[in-house]
Chains A and B, each alone.
Chain A
Amino acid sequence: MSAYLLEMKAIAKRFDGVPALDGIDLAIRPGECIGLCGENGAGKSTLMKVLSAVYPHGTWDGEILLDGEPLRAKSVRETEAAGIIIIHQELMLVPELSVAENIFLGNEPTLPGGRLNYPLMNRRAEEILAELKLPDVNVVLPVKNYGGGHQQLIEIGKALNKKARILILDEPSASLTASEIAVLLEIIRDLKAKGVACVYISHKLEEVAAICDTIVVIRDGKHIATTAMQGMNVNSIIAQMCGREMSQLYPSLPHPVGEVLMEARHITCWDPDQPQRKKVDDVSFQLRRGEILGIAGLVGAGRTELVTAIFGSYPGAYEGEVWLEGKRVDTGTPLKAIDAGFALVPEDRKHHGIVRDLSVGENITLSVLDRYSRMSRIDDHAEAHEVGEQIRRLALKTASPALPITALSGGNQQKAVLAKMLLTGPRVLILDEPTRGVDVGAKFEIYKLMLELAAQGISIIMVSSELAEVLGVSDRVLVMGEGRLRGDFANQGLTQEMVLAAAIGQGQHQDQVQERGQS
């Protein structure tokens, strides 16, 4: 048994008297990678915030030992000095600063007189990016010029620059493509070889299984198990996380697919920042009644742009026609789109989904508040009744509908946003990455709900980066690449390889489009 680099003993943390962590133990050896697993709200992020002193020493109970010495850090600065570096779920980059400036943010090298040592910064930044296999990134350009996947890797580069001894990665791969994930895992293996310990938090259990040596599972703030990865597999991790075996990841419910309900014709979107560039290039498709249409593609393929253009919320210039039941409808603004029978659950829940200062109930009724009011006066009883119905229907876990929405876990916030949009009575429901940052159990419930809605005749468009999910629930799959429609497949015998090949631009595009006619 090698000595532990870090030990966390009996960590307990309460929020307003409610225990979030209840006696968690965690020990890491040098060069070890720990997979920290648990459903949303299990306490993973809280535990890591304790470790990195986002919650300073004294606001929680228990003990942290680093090299056998007690660590009583009062601030993130101190833990970083001790070599504990956390990469948060949300990106912490300054968009206007250059890549190199971001990588050195907080520990900038200086020349005499306090001037920034740009030559050194840029040279070192280029070395780091070469390590991250991002040679095409120009380190003097602002970070905002690069997409989400690149930014995530730049964030990791920032951590590498800080001489980490323990690197905590909280959902690092959420916005990465498959090839970028491969690079990320390679980097982690290199770091392990150099003796750096890692804590890897991800809902993508395949990655966890691929990279981690030890799996620590927590549930409801309690430590459930610490197991060596040898002898474990994805299913056994899920079983520990849920406390039960998940017999199936995707529910099935037969739902008849009817006639064509909605049609998008010649949708073209231009980049708001570069008006010459097309983000979506002349995309047309049809959607049938009760059909679940998955839209797959790599990051930057134009999927979100396409669906937001249909819903009237695309920020830049766009054109195209939306037809519903053979009639052209105006969906120029979200308000008009909702009136026409569309609903959108947006990708970015924090900025576009929830309203932070309102309660769970107030969020749910936001779109249709007029229904519970007379002469603009809100009927509290009618509103509370409807909120209760929706909470029950979606199995939304909240102590009270009067709680602030921010008190809920990601999956339950997503359910609240979904409830809000469902109350508008949509005929076409657009879900953009509906399960991002949502745990396995809640994912299953969301899929089940989608199938039930489809069975009621609601047509669903689901944009997703998780191919398994697209193939698991869709009736038909559209594949986009570089703003164009690259494939239109009936989901029968469709494999991830076929979808990926289409997304990258291989394969006989024409044949695939024709396949649609036979479906």
Chain B
Amino acid sequence: MMDKAQAPIGAAAARTAVSGGGISFKQIFTQYKILALLVAIAVIWAFFSFKTDGGFTSARNLSNLMRQMSVTGILACGMVFVIIAGEIDLSVGSLLGLLGGAAAVLDVTHHLPLPLSMAIVLASGLLLGFVNGYLTAYAGIPSFIVGLGGMLAYRGIVLGITGGSTIAPISPEFEQLGQAYLPPAFGIALGVVLFVLAVALAWRQRVSQAQHNLPVIALWRSVFRVALTGIVLAGFVSTFNSYEGIPLPVLILLVLLGVFSYIAKQTVFGRRIYAVGSNMEATRLSGINVRAVKLWIFGLMGLMCALAGLINTARLAAGSPSAGTSGELDVIAACFIGGTSMRGGAGTVHGALVGALVMASLDNGMSMLDVDTYWQMIVKGAILTLAVWLDVATRTGRR
């Protein structure tokens, strides 16, 4: 078809097959940046492993680390959309505390069956997200202020309903949500399914590139990529299996990674999130209901707060009134470390999750080394600033 489309656009062709024609130099750059981040994680892991005589990279600790990260990661999935759309949500930490606390109260005080209390909490999360979204998109209050107000108000409510004390003990079924493991056999099956999926996607990409007259990437590169995926999957599954198996929260996070990446790249809603964040006025003039888009983004964010709140409560086996305090900062930091653009319009879900892994690794490693809390805060703050500085510096350097 497009005869002009044959001009080679180099590495830019990489994303094309997946999204049917949407790449920018910034996105290629984001791809390279992910590699840089993975190297950074490797360095951090090597350092902590050396300092703890391998304790940090033991299967048990990595399993633990991933479980810790899952709460921040779930929130980051929602937050990355909020930031791509050019907004911010500061209330997520408090909302997580409120919804997690509510789940504990429903379970401990009212003895509701788990599916019912989960449904109530998830619905409340969606609803409170819509409230945030309504105030931002329809009432026109800047999202920073809505978030700040929500941060205080939601924390106040959770203190009110819990009376300021920890709600425990939660029912064993509820505990399972945060502490269960996928049996090793299922883990292997999952790994195989994912590998087959990777092969299928790579194949589809090649076919699609050929159909669109785009330069098809070299066969050895496809094979290399698939093989790499296979090695990573094998390492991932075997590490978890050599401890107890894949933790349920990590599995949930993986599913969310898939779902949110799909939304971002393959759906109308996803395209609109990027468009709204990049140029809201032009998007509105294109006949898109930008307010509805934002309302749903905040709704999804609320839903993620509910899910994270449930898992957090289950993991701690108790509803703590201080759960999630300053969690919003970790989540926002994760998004920015993962390359989400501060002015909106660009960012990826997997980037944000890698950012969350960086934050969780620092937390976990420094705790193992018994680093003082104040040092932990200083290091995390410095890493966030450094990461964004590198991002900004390299971006302007490439025109």
> Which A residues are closer than 8 A to B by beta carbons?
15-16, 311, 313, 333-335, 337-339, 344, 346, 351-362, 366-367, 369-370, 373, 376-381, 383-385, 387-388, 391-392, 397-404, 420, 424
* Contacting pair A351 B24 (CB below 8 A): no
Q: How far apart sit A338 and B212, CA to CA, in the bound complex (Å)? A: 31
Question: In this assembly, does B281 line the interface, its C-beta being within 8 Å of a C-beta of chain A?
Answer: yes
State whether B2 touches A388 (Cβ < 8 A): yes
CB pair B282–A353 under 8 Å, yes or no, is yes
How many Å from the CB of A407 to the closest CB on chain B?
A: 8
Provide the bound-state CA to CA distance between A357 and B341, in Å: 11
Interface residues of B in 23-57 (CB under 8 A from A): 23-26
A183 to B279, CA, bound (A): 36
A313-B284, A334-B287, A359-B22 given as contacts; is B9 within 8 A of A399 (CB)? yes
A358/B22 in contact, CB under 8 A: yes
How far, in whole Å, are A352 and B22 apart by their CA atoms in the complex? 20
A168: min CB distance to chain B, Å: 21
Complex Cα distance, B25 from A424, in Å, reads: 29
What is the minimal beta-carbon distance from A343 to any residue of chain B, in angstroms?
9
Q: Which of B166-174, B268-276, B318-326 contacts A (4 or more CB under 8 A)?
A: B268-276
The 8 A CB mask of B75-92 against A (1 = contact, 0 = none) is 000000000000000000
| Contacts A359-B24, A381-B20, A404-B24; A334 near B275 (Cβ below 8 A) | no
List the B side residues contacting A344 at CB < 8 Å: 285
Instruction: Name the one of A362, A367, A376 contacting B21, with C-beta atoms under 8 angstroms.
Output: A362
Whether, in the assembled complex, B278 has its beta carbon less than 8 Å from a beta carbon of chain A, the answer is yes
A335 to B22, CA, bound (A): 24
Min CB gap A457→B, angstroms: 21
Given A313-B284, A402-B12, CB of A366 within 8 Å of CB of B275:
yes
For residue B236, give the distance in angstroms from its CB to the closest CB of chain A: 28
Chain A min CB distance to B285 (Å): 5
User: Out of B21, B25, B275, B282, which one reaches A352, CB within 8 Å?
Assistant: B282
Provide 16 A-B residue pairs closer than 8 Å at the C-beta atoms, listed in order of the A residue.
A335-B288, A337-B287, A339-B287, A346-B282, A346-B285, A351-B281, A352-B285, A353-B285, A355-B275, A357-B279, A376-B268, A378-B266, A380-B17, A384-B21, A402-B21, A402-B22
Contact between chains at B286 and A378 (CB < 8 Å): no
Chain B residues within CB distance 8 Å of chain A = 1-2, 4-5, 7, 9, 12-13, 16-26, 208, 211-212, 214, 266-269, 271-272, 274-275, 277-279, 281-289, 341, 345-346, 399
Identity of the chain A residue whose Cβ is nearest the Cβ of B19 in the assembled complex: A380
Q: Tell me the bound Cα distance from A346 to B286 in angstroms.
A: 10
Complex alpha-carbon distance, A383 and B9, angstroms: 20
Contact of A400 with B281 in the complex, beta carbons under 8 Å: no
Q: Report B-chain residues with C-beta under 8 Å of the C-beta of A16.
A: 25
Alpha-carbon gap, A361 to B4, bound state (A):
13
A420–B275 CA distance with the chains assembled, in angstroms: 14
A347 to B285, CA, bound (A): 12
Of A377, A401, A420, A424, the residue contacting B267 (CB under 8 A) is A377
When chains A and B are docked, how far (Å) is the Cα of A351 from the Cα of B278? 10
Whether the Cβ atoms of B4 and A391 lie closer than 8 Å is yes
* Chain B residues with CB under 8 A of A338: 287
Cα A351 to Cα B283 with chains together (Å): 10
Assuming the A-B contacts A313-B284, A399-B9, are A357 and B277 also in contact, with contact meaning beta carbons closer than 8 angstroms in the complex? yes
Assembly CA distance A359 to B22 (angstroms): 5
**Known contacts A15-B399, A313-B284, A366-B288; is A354 also within 8 Å of B271 by CB?**
no
What is the interface of chain B mostly: helix, strand, loop, or mixed? helix
Q: Which of B26, B212, B268 is the one whose CB lies under 8 Å from A357? A: B26
Distance in Å: Cβ of B205 to nearest Cβ of chain A: 11
CB-CB under 8 A from A311, the residues of chain B are 285
Closest chain A residue to B20 by CB distance? A380
List chain A residues, Cβ under 8 A from B285: 311, 313, 334, 344, 346, 352-353
List the A side residues contacting B23 at CB < 8 Å.
Answer: 359, 402-404
| Pairs of residues from A and B, 5 with the lowest C-beta to C-beta distance, nearest first | A380-B20, A338-B287, A357-B345, A361-B21, A357-B278
Complex contacts, B345 vs chain A, CB 8 Å: 355-357
Smallest beta-carbon distance B166→chain A, Å: 42
The smallest C-beta distance from A351 to any residue of chain B, in angstroms, reads: 6
* Shortest distance from the beta carbon of A366 to any chain B beta carbon, whole Å: 5
Q: Which chain B residues lie closer than 8 Å to A370 at the CB level?
A: 268
Bound-state Cα–Cα, A182 to B208, Å: 57
> How far is B300's CA from A17's CA once the two chains are assembled, in angstroms?
42
**Are B399 and A391 touching (Cβ within 8 A)?**
no
Query: Known contacts being A335-B289, A366-B288, is A381 close to B283, with CB within 8 Å?
Result: no
Q: Which residues of B contact A362 (CB under 8 A)?
A: 21-22, 271, 275
Please determine whether A401 and B21 come into contact, CB atoms closer than 8 angstroms. Answer: yes
Q: Are A355 and B283 in contact (CB under 8 A)?
A: yes
Give the CA-CA distance A362 to B289 in the complex, in Å: 17
Residues of chain B within 8 A (CB-CB) of A333 are: 284, 289
Contact B22 A361 (CB under 8 A): yes
Q: Are B267 and A373 in contact (CB under 8 A)?
A: yes
Q: Are B286 and A334 in contact, CB atoms less than 8 angstroms apart?
A: yes
Q: How far is the CA of A465 from the CA of B122 in the complex (A)?
A: 56
If A377-B267, A401-B5 touch, whether A352 touches B26 (CB-CB below 8 Å) is no
Q: What CA separation (Å) do A48 and B323 show in the bound complex?
A: 57
Assess whether A400 is in contact with B7, with CB atoms less than 8 Å apart.
Answer: yes
